[in-house]
Amino acid sequence: MFTRVLSLSVAALMVTAFVVAAEAEKFSAKCLVAGKPDAKEDKNAEYKGAKVFFCCDNCKAKFTGEPAKFAVAANHQLVVTKQFKQTKCPISGAKINPDESTEVAGVKVSFCCENCKGKVASAKGDEQKELVFKDAAFDKAFEIVKK
């Protein structure tokens, strides 16, 4: 009897762990055009070898018509959705020092030195995001995650 109860308890625990893990992997992204937190996984476009997500077909059409206009938001979304990871300093392109980090638009960003970190930390709001996620900075500091 004890073995049976123990087996059922272990099975229930495994099912619970699986459900929790599935919830942790649930898709979540902001539409990079509208800024709404309801981007849908099936409303996407190819971008830099990965996918960017939208809330509707209208936003997708706006992006595909003028991707450069939305580059900062698109690059940011690529990192938030864990399709790209940081490998170098976005300011200098040098090796990053994990001790020189700050948060930019909800993303932990590391820099090579105090000066580069200070440049971004002293900027405000969208200017911070622009410094880190504009194409020139993004292309030298981030790379696609290999699956």
Spatial separation of the C-alpha atoms in residues 86 and 83, rounded to whole Å: 10
Both structure tokens of 38: 């309801």
Say how far apart CA 65 and CA 13 lie, in whole Å: 49
Structural Rg of the chain based on CA atoms:
20
Displacement of CA 8 from its chain's centroid (Å):
39
What's the pLDDT at 81?
97
Q: What is the DSSP letter of 95?
A: B
**pLDDT number for residue 27:** 86
Q: What is the pLDDT of residue 147?
A: 76
Per-residue pLDDT of the chain in tens (147 residues, 90 and over written 9): 656 655 555 455 554 444 444 445 688 999 999 999 999 999 999 999 999 999 999 999 999 999 999 999 999 999 999 999 999 999 999 999 999 999 999 999 999 999 999 999 999 989 999 999 999 999 999 999 997
Map out the domains of the chain as residue ranges.
27-82, 85-144
